[in-house]
Amino acid sequence: MAFASYNSKSGFSVGSRTVLRLDRPLTVSSMKPVAPSPLPFASAATRTKSASSLQRRSSVGSLKTGKDDSGGQSFPGRVRVAVRLRPRNAEEQIADADFADCVELLPELKRLKLRKNNWDCETYQFDEVLTETASQKRVYEVVAKPVVESVLEGYNGTVMAYGQTGTGKTFTLGRIGEEDCADRGIMVRAMEDILADISPEHDTVTVSYLQLYMESVQDLLAPERDNIPIVEDPKTGDVSLPGATLVELKDQQNFVQLLQTGENNRIASNTKMNTESSRSHALLLVHVKRSAKSKQEKDLVIPQENGNGVQLSKGHRAPTIRKSKLLIVDLAGSERVDKSGSEGHQLEEAKAINLSLTALGKCINALAESSPHVPTRDSKLTRLLRDSFGGTARTSLIITIGPSPRHRAETASTILFGQRAMKVENMLKLKEEFDYKSLCRRLEADLDRLIAENERQSQAVLESEEEMERRLEEARIIVVEAESRLSAALETLAEERRKHQQENKETLQKVEVERAEMERFEQKLKKNVQDLQDQKEKQTFAEKEKHQKALVELEEKYNQELSNVKQILETERAHREKLENELKELLKKAEETTKEESLRTERAKEDELQKLKQQLEKEHLLREQAECELKKIEQQHKKTNGIIQDNEDSSILRQKVEQELQEKEKLEEEVRALKQQLLQLHIEAEESKRTLEKASSTRSSVCSDSHISINRPSNMRDTINGQRATIAKLFEQVGLHKILSLLQSEDVDVRVHAVKVVANLAAEEGNQEKIVEAGGLGSLLMLLQSSEDETIRRVAAGAIANLAMNETNQELIMAQGGIGLLARTADDAEDPQTLRMVAGAIANLCGNEKLQIKLREEGGIRALLGMVRSRHPDVLAQVARGIANFAKCESRGSGQGNRIGRSLLIDDGALPWIVANANNEASPIRRHIELALCHLAQHEVNAKDLVAGGALWELIRISRECSREDIRTLAQRTLNASPTFQAELKRLHVVY
């Protein structure tokens, strides 16, 4: 191995104790915990043994088991020895080709066999046995890594290579591995681990690299520094080289540069045994200084003069630092001078090397044998390694051997050296001390801070005192003012108190007087109450009796009424059954007899009419004759009055005239009686109607769909039928013309009763034509227009409604301006019954397809919708019926192609009301509206409006819930047929 001289270009300053700082930053890594790890090769037995042996070695310094003087803990640890076999080199491969290796390695048993001859060998046990194929990495990990870890934990450590020249010591320790990183030796790998573990902020790593050549210590980083003295601490036994250069490391690259510099400066020669034989012992010293973390800091005790210590607060605990040292020693190779053929200077070198190695061997022998004297002073090498063998460092020795049987003796010597070294016990000691400097710095900083704080606080106290003074003065003023206000307030209070006392006194007197009065009043009241109670008791008894009597009467009356009703019901039921039977029979016969019956009826009617006509004509004739005769007599009377005054004939004639006059008076009397009878009949009819309505209040009248009459109970119907029979009789007796003429009577009552008679007659389908023919419709419309009486207008509207059931009459009503009159009445009337009649009349007209446009033009639909303001269910039902009729006709017209375009109902704004009432709780309203909606929906032209108006949901509901199957089916069909409805349903994701 060739060593170049020191290269001044490296840039390192060289001088006594110079610490070289490098520009490159350190690789940052956190500091490991400092608790010492157990030693891997020191068994419990060994520890006990070594402890006792080391206690005997006082010469080694302060070493002992347990706690040392500084309080630090000590741990025993045997020197660990590994053996490494170099592979055969080129020369050996040729020269020893026919020979087996002198050693056989059993790595798994950690044993080595050294051949004595072909049949005999000796076996040695080592801590590690590394074959010729062992990698550099593995060698580092088993030999040096545990030592490096101990160094990082605060213990000194030594790794040393010993062996014959050319067996691979430098290869094992000093290879830089520039060409192949796998070749990196222990020095490079150890520094990598150290730099990776330390913290660049708190820890420092410094390096010295030296060689011991010819018993002189020389600085390999500054070769001019020669003969560096070895200093030993007499107290601790620690060895130091204060003259050596210390370089603070920042990174690995810088270390490699240092190593190369040192290598260049190391002395090497080309010997017979090794072309690059190291002629010096190389020592790499790595100093690691680590600060303990704050939580591991110990309390600092400041010594006092009296011997006691003052412990500082926890914030001022002394930080600790750990200073440890790693020593890597590449010994020069031992050689047999006779074999190496060294001479001259090389011989001198060899002698020096051998001497130092011999001295080392002696020391190790002494230590191995626990000799009381260890001759460490025999050589500088042993002085330098004093701490590594039998000292406080953790030591790992690697012995290198070659395989050649030609060097068996040297190999055996090396093996024996290793075996002895294995017996050497060290006592590891934690190198920890307080970092007073940094504590001092911290304390000074704290002190400065406290002084500044104190100054600030003093100033603040001063200012707050002044402020206090000021506030005290202000408070004094406030107190004085408050005191004066208080005294004034107290005076006022006393005055008020006096006043209140006086008032209280007066009030008390008044109360006394009032109380006396109250007592008097109470007594009086009691008396009155007593009187009243007595009176009440008497009255109650009388009333009770009266009530009981009335109750009995009422009960009897009720029972009577009940039995009447029951009877009526029974009769009704029997009558109904009879009617049903009759109806059935009639239905059976109906088909056969319809034609004959109708012919017969018509003939009978015609006969009857004929008879009536004849009778009327007869009467008319008689009257005309009587009138003619009367005229003649009068004429004759006038003629003969003057001529034959005293004639007997004149008296006869006079008698005749008188008779005629009497007859006339009689006839007039008869007419009056008939009128009276008519009035009487209606009064009776009204009374009986009221009575019956009361009796069957639960069976209230409901307007029938198209016929504006009351759906009355059977008894009532009977009465009405009786009435009608009477009226029919009257009708026959008096004649329709006479009844209609009474509609124009000046007497309101007569008009009322006449219109009621006409309305009753109009309720019979058979009379309707006659009424219209006789001009009844015109009279009724006139009444509707001109009458101010509500009853007349209501009954007239009802009669018109009944007449409007007939198609011909509907046209007549329209032709005579009836819809306008009905609309006006609808606008003016407030009585629900009048509105019901008017709505019923319009509803009937709505059912005529031919009249639709005219009806709408003359405000029929508007009037119909206007009547919903009434909210009366009967009115609403008629409005709904009218809308349904109208929609049905429109639908029919559209279907037949008679009409196009949107519904007039929608045009007139009926849709919102239709949608709102489509699900009305009253079934008549609901049923009509449902039907109307279905009719409107049948035509696509209305669909968009229906969707926009929310009618789609009602149609869906109708299609699902409507009680009438035909309407339900209609709604379903309509929904399925309409593209607009289908599109909307799809848009809303409604599955229908």
Ligand X SMILES: Nc1ncnc2c1ncn2[C@@H]1O[C@H](COP(=O)(O)OP(=O)(O)OP(=O)(O)O)[C@@H](O)[C@H]1O
Q: How far is the CB of 155 from ligand X (least distance, A)?
A: 27
Buried b (16+ CB within 10 A) or exposed e, 539-568: eeeeeeeeeeeeeeeeeeeeeeeeeeeeeb
How distant is the alpha carbon of residue 209 from its chain centre?
71
- Residue 53 to residue 288: CA distance in whole angstroms: 30
**Residues shown for the chain:** 992
Q: How far is the CB of 139 from ligand X (least distance, A)?
A: 8
Q: How far is the CB of 251 from ligand X (least distance, A)?
A: 27
Q: How far is the CB of 333 from ligand X (least distance, A)?
A: 2
Q: Which position has the token pair 């009949």?
A: 681
Q: How does DSSP assign 375-427, residue by residue?
A: -GGG-HHHHHTTTTSSSSSEEEEEEEE---GGGHHHHHHHHHHHHHHTT-EEE
Q: How far is the CB of 106 from ligand X (least distance, A)?
A: 18
DSSP single-letter state for residue 115: E
Here the tokens at position 834 are 């009048």
Q: How far is the CB of 165 from ligand X (least distance, A)?
A: 3
Angle of helix 776-786 versus helix 807-815 axis, rounded to 10: 50
Q: How far is the CB of 214 from ligand X (least distance, A)?
A: 15
Q: How far is the CB of 176 from ligand X (least distance, A)?
A: 13
Q: Residue 941: helix, strand or coil by DSSP? A: helix
Q: With respect to ligand X, which residue has the nearer C-beta, 178 or 276?
A: 276
Closest CA to 46 of 465, 427, 563: 427
- Residue 941 to residue 895: CA distance in whole angstroms: 12
Q: How far is the CB of 187 from ligand X (least distance, A)?
A: 13
Buried b (16+ CB within 10 A) or exposed e, 749-771: ebbbbbbbbbbbbbbbeebbeeb
Q: How far is the CB of 163 from ligand X (least distance, A)?
A: 6
Q: With respect to ligand X, which residue has the nearer C-beta, 250 or 266?
A: 266
8 Å CB contact between 920 and 901: no
Q: With respect to ligand X, which residue has the nearer C-beta, 89 or 636?
A: 89
Q: How does DSSP assign 120-163, residue by residue?
A: -EEEEE-SEEE-TT--HHHHIIIIIHHHHHHHHHT--EEEEEEE
Q: How far is the CB of 365 from ligand X (least distance, A)?
A: 22
Q: How far is the CB of 344 from ligand X (least distance, A)?
A: 17
The dihedral formed by the CA atoms of 368, 370, 371 and 375, expressed in degrees to the nearest 10: 50
Q: With respect to ligand X, which residue has the nearer C-beta, 155 or 171?
A: 171
- DSSP strand pairing (394-401 vs 204-213): unpaired
Q: With respect to ligand X, which residue has the nearer C-beta, 26 or 139?
A: 139
User: Can you point out the beta strands (E) in 412-527?
Assistant: 425-429, 432-434
Q: Which residues bind ligand X (CB under 6 A)?
A: 1, 86-87, 89, 163, 165-171, 274, 276-278, 332-333, 400
Give the count of alpha carbons within 13 A of 909, CB side only.
Answer: 6
Q: With respect to ligand X, which residue has the nearer C-beta, 278 or 388?
A: 278
What residues does 240 pair with on adjacent strands?
A: 231
- Residue 255 to residue 942: CA distance in whole angstroms: 99
